[in-house]
Amino acid sequence: MNPRADEYGRSPHHSRRGGGLTLRLAQENPRWGHRRIQGELGKLGHAVSASAVRAALRRRATIWRDFIRSHKDQLLACDFFTFETLFLKTLHILFFIEVGMRRVHLVGRTARPTAAWVAQQARQLAWTLQEAGAPPHFLIDDRDAKFSPCPGRLVHLWRNPGTHQISVPGGHAG
């Protein structure tokens, strides 16, 4: 055991610098596993064990699960799925999910989604939810290119100062 280790058994080097860098590498490279992140940290001069990297990633996942669980009634998530028609035309369908109620809103479909089209569909759903008295506090998207051309993005359409947008790496929303 390292005599200079902190209460979690991490070396001072990892607990001060490597921990934040571990999470940053994981966020910027969502397909990397803990061993790849350990190797990249080693190349940068941070001697960190694979188990320390894995533990840091698990803590982050636990925090995300706790966030979802405690705010589920205030969350709205959005994404696309595709549908192939009988004539082999691909349609992109935009949907929103009220996480707490598990209610799905299929808000539109198009062959070529653009940021302007997404913004219009989100605006119409925002009006519907505001009329129902249930505007979300958090809007989750997956950093799809169709969301990125509108920085501040969809959240400004709700016109609710308490609404925040959370962008997660694709495939990591839950």
State the CB neighbour count (10 A cutoff) for residue 53.
28
Mean pLDDT confidence for 49-57 = 86
- With bands split at pLDDT 50, 70 and 90, how would you rate the model's confidence at 157? low
**What residue ranges define each of the domains in the chain, with the CATH number in brackets?**
12-69 (1.10.10), 70-167 (3.30.420.10)
The region of weakest confidence among 16-20, 49-53, 85-89, 115-119 is 16-20
pLDDT at 14: 47
Task: Please write down the HEC assignment for all residues of 37-82.
Answer: HHHHHHHCCCCCCHHHHHHHHHHHHHHHHHHHHHHHHHEEEEEEEE
Q: What is the pTM of this model?
A: 0.59
pLDDT: which is higher, 44 or 31: 44
pLDDT at 97: 92
Secondary structure (3-state) at 2: coil
pLDDT over 70, % of the chain = 74
Question: What region does 135 belong to: left with phi over 0, alpha with psi -120 to 50, or beta?
Answer: beta
Burial category of 117 from C-beta neighbours within 10 Å (exposed 0-12, middle 13-18, buried 19 and up): middle
State the alpha helices, DSSP H only, in 72-135. Answer: 115-131
pLDDT at 57 over 50: yes
Look up residue 25 and give its amino acid: L
pLDDT at 173 over 50: no
Mean pLDDT confidence for 41-61 = 85
